[in-house]
């Protein structure tokens, strides 16, 4: 799996990834959500307290293949995803 681009907002994450054709998308999403959840909850006690006994990520996800659109177009789209209003309480380190 290769991550080509990413954008993080308060309520969702957009990533452009490349995977081998013999790996299912659902397994990749499960892996990414599981590993990132474990990492975030182990490093940030605020999140651990807030999501105790709950799920960090929502159950759903949206996927599109880049067959009809070039990867460069997707990368530009992801790069330009910014919240309409600045959110002073949210930052990515």
- What does the pLDDT look like over 36-64, one tens digit per residue? 888 888 888 888 777 777 777 878 888 88
Grade residue 89 by pLDDT with cuts at 50, 70 and 90. Answer: low
- pTM higher than 0.85, yes or no? no
Check 4, 51, 61, 77 and give the catalytic one.
77
Output the pLDDT for position 23: 93
CA distances (Å), 42 to each of 12, 15, 48, 55, 70, in order?
20, 22, 7, 14, 37
* Residue 51 bears catalytic tag: no
- Mean pLDDT confidence for 5-25: 86
Q: Where are the domains of the chain?
A: 2-79
CA distances (Å), 10 to each of 1, 70, 91, in order?
25, 27, 9
């Amino acid at each position: 799996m290769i991550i080509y681009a990413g954008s993080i907002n308060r309520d969702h994450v957009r990533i452009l990834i490349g995977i081998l054709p013999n790996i299912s998308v659902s397994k990749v999403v499960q892996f990414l959500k599981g590993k990132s959840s474990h990492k975030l909850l182990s490093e940030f006690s605020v999140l651990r307290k807030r999501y105790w006994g709950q799920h960090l990520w929502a159950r759903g996800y949206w996927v599109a293949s880049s067959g009809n659109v070039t990867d460069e177009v997707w990368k530009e789209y992801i790069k330009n995803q910014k919240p309409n209003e600045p959110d002073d309480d949210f930052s990515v380190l």
